A and B are shown apart, each in its own frame.
Chain A
Amino acid sequence: MSTHEIKHVPEKTSPWPLLITLGGIAMISGLLVVVAYQITRPMIEANQRAAISRAVARVIPGAVSHRAFVISREGLRPAKKGERGNIIYAGYDKNGHLAGIAARASAQGYADIIYMLYGYDPKCRCIRGLKVLKMTETPGLGDRIKTDPDFLKNFQALDAKLDAEGKDLEHQIITVKHGKKRHPWEIDAISGATISSRAVGRALNASARRILPLLLPRIGELEKAAPQDSKETRP
């Protein structure tokens, strides 16, 4: 008889089964997510490192290895793993000489923020390469900032000299209308993608103004910090 009565008890819905079910499932879920995170983290980090290596090699001609540094008013120091902030990548050629510096830049484009990496060559004091890392610009229009060969020609030697005091750019980097480029510090816009082209100019200008005055006085430190093993690419 007693077992018969117990059978009817759950109909009254005690809160415990509900709590135990939800709590139990949530706990198992939490465990699974943490395990998945732990397993995939090294692979995701390796992917990110590989992506940065590829991008640095793209924007610094001749670079075979790179090291990451954090630049601030206090000076230059090697970046720790996973660190954020003013990170620059010093690229070294196969003889271990400084080939150039890569830095991040970003600006609001037409659809969303455009993230890019650009390469600065201290010898010509100009920007020598650009790679768009992430964007959601309109396919066929704005996304040509990544592929348009004429637009990318702007970044073969885009002037980024500092002024006499070394506090700011001598000439602000500016995007001009398609076909109106007259000076080496101007970017010739893509016709039909002016907003995206201007975003690239704004991003480069803002990043160069912020980073170059801090960086250029210390460029000798980067030259000395060349990796012993030229294969070293750890950030």
Chain B
Amino acid sequence: MSAIPHREPQEKQAVTWDVFSEGLWRDNPVLVMMLGLCPALAVSNSAINALAMGLATTFVLITSGAIISLLRRFIPKQVRIATYIVIIATFVTLVDYAIQAISLDLYNALGAFIQLIVVNCIILGRAEAYASRNPFGRTVINATGMGLGFTIALLVLGGIREILGAGSLFGFDLFGPDFEPWVVMILPPGGFIVLSLMLVAFNLVNRRLGGGAKQAKGHGHAA
């Protein structure tokens, strides 16, 4: 019996902190995997837009991941991508209606990018790479981490752009009437500039953290 290989060896692994946290930092969708940059750049011109987009994406990531994980043994591999897309599109449509019901202003501000969550590479990527191979619990926890990582990255990006480009945060005026907004920051080039600076900062921090660890390891080897 032991000669029969287990179909999904990963399933034996326990739910660890790492399952949740890899999306937050080590494999952050925006800052490390560089997935979903199109909506990340397009709707991060204000903090509230970034937050709404992040939460909508998180919801779709978790729900579609959960369903795909539950059905993973029943979905024939020949039609798996088509099936995933139908499942993802369903949840995106639900989010679309929900946002319209919550606030039309927000819906108009996010424009076509809510519907475009269907083709956001993070979601299909996580469905194929994670949800289709992992049990329900792990998938939900991992998707939550990934979604929060995406939301936090977007929120920082949107917050910086709104503060510099409009002198406000979540619509609250920060600097008073004498502040001259740095308009380019809420225009598309500002998105690229702030994202690149965030990537530099992220990699500097990572190098300091990871570099220190490596150095210690190296010393150990030498000794």
Whether A47 lies near B79 (C-beta < 8 A) is no
- A231 close to chain B: CB less than 8 A: no
In the bound complex, what is the Cα–Cα distance between A37 and B90 (angstroms)?
12
Whether B74 lies near A139 (C-beta < 8 A) is no
Partner of B87, one of A29, A139, A140: A29
In the bound complex, what is the Cα–Cα distance between A193 and B78 (angstroms)?
54
Contacts A13-B76, A21-B79, A138-B187 known; A29 to B101 CB distance under 8 Å? no
- B125 close to chain A: CB less than 8 A: no
Whether B79 lies near A18 (C-beta < 8 A) is yes
Partner of B83, one of A13, A21, A44: A21
- B66 close to chain A: CB less than 8 A: no
Whether A21 lies near B75 (C-beta < 8 A) is yes
Whether B94 lies near A32 (C-beta < 8 A) is yes
Contacts A17-B76, A21-B75 known; A33 to B90 CB distance under 8 Å? yes
CB proximity of A214 to chain B, nearest CB, Å: 29
Please name all residues of chain B whose beta carbon is closer than 8 Å to the beta carbon of A1 when the two chains form the complex: none
Please name all residues of chain B whose beta carbon is closer than 8 Å to the beta carbon of A124 when the two chains form the complex: none
CB proximity of A204 to chain B, nearest CB, Å: 21
CB within 8 Å of A: which B153-167 residues: 165-166
- B183 close to chain A: CB less than 8 A: yes
**Other A-B pairs beyond A21-B74, A44-B97, 10, CB < 8 Å:** A13-B76, A18-B78, A22-B82, A22-B83, A25-B86, A32-B90, A33-B93, A36-B98, A40-B97, A47-B101
What sequence of 0s and 1s flags, for each residue 131-171 of chain A, a beta carbon within 8 Å of any chain B beta carbon?
00010101111000000000000000000000000000000
A interface, by DSSP: helix, strand, loop or mixed?
Answer: helix
- A51 close to chain B: CB less than 8 A: yes
In the bound complex, what is the Cα–Cα distance between A17 and B83 (angstroms)?
12
Please name all residues of chain A whose beta carbon is closer than 8 Å to the beta carbon of B86 when the two chains form the complex: 22, 25-26, 29
Please name all residues of chain B whose beta carbon is closer than 8 Å to the beta carbon of A48 when the two chains form the complex: 104
Whether A29 lies near B75 (C-beta < 8 A) is no
Please name all residues of chain B whose beta carbon is closer than 8 Å to the beta carbon of A47 when the two chains form the complex: 100-101, 103-104
- A6 close to chain B: CB less than 8 A: no
Whether B97 lies near A21 (C-beta < 8 A) is no
CB proximity of A55 to chain B, nearest CB, Å: 11
User: Which of A25, A36, A44, A141 gathers the greatest number of chain B CB atoms within 10 Å?
Assistant: A25
Partner of A36, one of B87, B97, B108: B97
B interface, by DSSP: helix, strand, loop or mixed?
Answer: helix
Please name all residues of chain B whose beta carbon is closer than 8 Å to the beta carbon of A25 when the two chains form the complex: 71, 83, 86-87
Task: Give the size of the chain A interface in residues (CB under 8 angstroms).
Answer: 25
Whether B78 lies near A40 (C-beta < 8 A) is no
What sequence of 0s and 1s flags, for each residue 98-124 of chain B, a beta carbon within 8 Å of any chain A beta carbon?
101101100010010000000000000
Whether A33 lies near B79 (C-beta < 8 A) is no
CB proximity of B82 to chain A, nearest CB, Å: 6
Residue of B nearest to A50 (CB): B104
- A43 close to chain B: CB less than 8 A: yes
Provide a sorted-by-A list of 28 A–B residue pairs whose CB atoms are within 8 angstroms.
Answer: A18-B76, A18-B79, A21-B76, A22-B83, A25-B86, A25-B87, A26-B86, A29-B86, A29-B89, A32-B90, A36-B93, A36-B94, A36-B98, A39-B97, A40-B100, A43-B101, A44-B101, A44-B104, A47-B101, A51-B104, A134-B108, A139-B45, A139-B165, A139-B166, A139-B183, A139-B186, A139-B187, A140-B183
Contacts A21-B83, A141-B183 known; A33 to B74 CB distance under 8 Å? no
- B36 close to chain A: CB less than 8 A: no
Please name all residues of chain B whose beta carbon is closer than 8 Å to the beta carbon of A13 when the two chains form the complex: 76, 78
Whether A37 lies near B183 (C-beta < 8 A) is no
In the bound complex, what is the Cα–Cα distance between A138 and B87 (angstroms)?
36
Contacts A18-B76, A47-B103, A139-B186 known; A29 to B111 CB distance under 8 Å? no
